[in-house]
Structure formats: C-alpha cells, structure tokens
Structure 1
Amino acid sequence: MSTPFRSPVCAAVLALVLVTGGCSDDGATDRPTSGTTETATTTSVSGPAPLTTRAEVATVVGRLPGTRRKAVRQEVTAVLDRWWDTAYVGGAYPRDDFGSFPGFTPGATRRATYDRDLMSNADIGERVVSVTPLMRKARLDLLAVNQRARSVTARFDLRMRVDLAEEGAPSRLQVRGRVFLTRQPAGWRVFGYDVTKGWLS
C-alpha cells in the first residue's frame, strides 16, 4: 500500500474519556466485557448492488444492558454510514461536493473540512468515474456510566474499488482508523478521529 494520508485528532478524545471515566460510580465495573453481536445496515452506493455495514460491539467498560448495547450499535453504525456515503461511496461521480460531514460536531467538521482530502474523496472526486464499496466493517468499544453509554471508539475498515478516468484498470482504496463519538442531545456525534487513507496494491 502506498504511503497513506494520516491525521490524528486525539487530545480532546483523551480528555473527554478521562473526565467521563472519572464520573463512574462505585457500583460500575471497570473490567472490559467482550461482545459478539453484530448488525448490518444497508446503504445506497454507486455500484451494481448495495453493500451492508457489519458492526460489532467488541468491548464494554462499565455496565450496559444488552438492549442498550444493540441500540448504541445501530445508532453509531448509522453515523458511520452517513459519513461514508456522503464522503466516499455515495453520490454521482465525477463530483466535487465534499464539504459536508453529517454526524460530526462543529469542531470536528471544521477539522475534517481542513482534512477533506483524507476524510473524503475530495482529492480524486473530479477524476473518478465510479466507486464500488468492497468492505464496510466496524468494531465498537463502549464506555458506560450508570448503565448508559457515554462514549464510543469505532475502529473501522472501509475499502472501495475506484475507477479513474485516466486509468484503464480500477484501483482499490482503503480508509481505516478510529473515530471517537460522544452522546449529545441530538444523538451520537463524532468529535475526533485518527484516520489513514491509501491505495492497496
């Protein structure tokens, strides 16, 4: 794989996790709890058939009932899907409209806009003929306080086949890394990320 773009946005993440963790009551467990449940969300893509996002809860720190784990999994998957569809695999190519990051906080939106060549296909959008997703996966680590999910780290792997106008054969592009989400009144929002993007050989 070629040398990837990379952009870590982690300082605020660590601060929030520490603050949130400090609010945990004595009755909550600090031991990680593994989970194996998965979800599949169908999304529209620019290809012959839709591909589903497969997400699973990997670790839960604190106590969180199974029904709430499922709800968090579905809600966070929906946030990832909206970002991926808007930034990478959706829309009619060629395109240059990459200024929107749904599900991001205002601060994360500003940063992602600055990093739009990484956080979207803005760097190649005008040269792309079509994009077909090949893989959409995520593993979620949840932090729960008082039996409520307070923050989520989503480790993801998005792969797509990209047909470029000036090249005969399509190339495979991978976007992977972590996004950090917090629960807000409007729902789960991405407030930080550590993402790489590069071509696969």
Structure 2
Amino acid sequence: MARRQGQIDERKRQAVLDAAGTLFADKGMAVSMEEIARVAGVAKQTLYNRFASKAEIARALANQRADAIVAPLKEAGEPAQVLEALALSLLERICHPDKTSSIRGVVLMSAEAPDIAQAVYEGGPLRSLNLLSAWLADQTRAGRLDVADPDDAAEMFTGMVLGHGHLRAMLNAPQLDAARRARRARNAARLFLAAYGPKVSVASTAASSA
C-alpha cells in the first residue's frame, strides 16, 4: 500500500534527526548540514525545508529526548508510582553509562556554539522541567500533592534524582549501576512525597482516630 505524503515526510524528518544525532556525537559541531543530509539520505533542500540550521536540529533532538524522559507523566497512577517511574527514566536516559557521551558533547560545544547549546538546554532540560512543573501543579489542584512552587519543586526533584550524574558524565567517571539507579528512583519519590504530599489537618487526624 502506498504511503501518504505525511508518512513520507515524517520518515525523512526522523532520518535527519537520527543522522544528526550520530554525527553530533562523533564529530560535534564540525559536521556540516550537507553531511547530515547525505547520511540521512535526503536532498540538501529537503533538509533545509525542515530545519534552517544545526541549532534547529539540536532543539528538535532535545525535544525528542525530553518527551521520552517525561513520558511517565502521561501515565495514570498515584504520584508515588509516577514520580518513581520518572526518576528511573531520568537515570536511565541521563546517568546510564551508555548515554553519557552526549552530555560531554553538549558541554564541549557550549563554548564554540553557544546558540546550539542554548537550544539544547531550552529544548531538553528546560522543557522537561516545565512539563514536570505543570504536572505537579495539576496534582496539587487535584489534592494529590501540596506544591506551592511547582517550578522550584520540579528542579529540586530532578536535582535529587540525578545527584552527581551530570558531573560524572562530564568527567567520564563511573555511573550508578542498575540496582543503585532503581534504589535512587524509589528513595527520591519517597522523599519528595514526604515533603510535598497532601497535608492532613489536625482535625482530620483526630476525626479518623476517634
């Protein structure tokens, strides 16, 4: 069956992102748009029709990565389950030994290509924080959490989960193994809920124990 135009366009877009991700990891910002098009198997004009610059490609890659990391926020479940799943997603995609080279690549490019580094930050980590902040606000309105400042709490949660993960990645130091990643995810969710779980009033406590 023939593919619709939209399907073909999406396949080409993904081919560009896949090629760019590989080339950025191997060569950094030295890679040219022409080389990305060649490896992706698309015409140079096709590439420019979709992405005007390497910064736009980097932002799209960061968006894709951020959406994958925060996917647990779209799942139904109690806050403890969702937060533990999110914590594990963060650890698996950022602190897994096989994933750290991309972080070092971004750090190295930040001086020579600050516009691309900024695009990566805005499209990736900042986007993840904003999505988590929105989820925390929704949970607070529903009475499942009690978070006065969702933006601050979102950053605190990710910092507690990752710990020295980014630092280890930048210095190519050994990362947490699978068992410690799972334990860190459980503990981070538990500690976060201890601080931001719904407050139970004294009157409610007395009534329930009566």
TM-score, normalised relative to structure 2 = 0.28
TM-score, normalised relative to structure 1 = 0.29
Higher helix share: 2
Query: Which fold has the larger relative contact order, with Cα–Cα distance below 8 Å and residues 6 or more apart in sequence?
Result: 1
Q: Look at both structures and tell me which one has the larger radius of gyration over its CA atoms.
A: 2
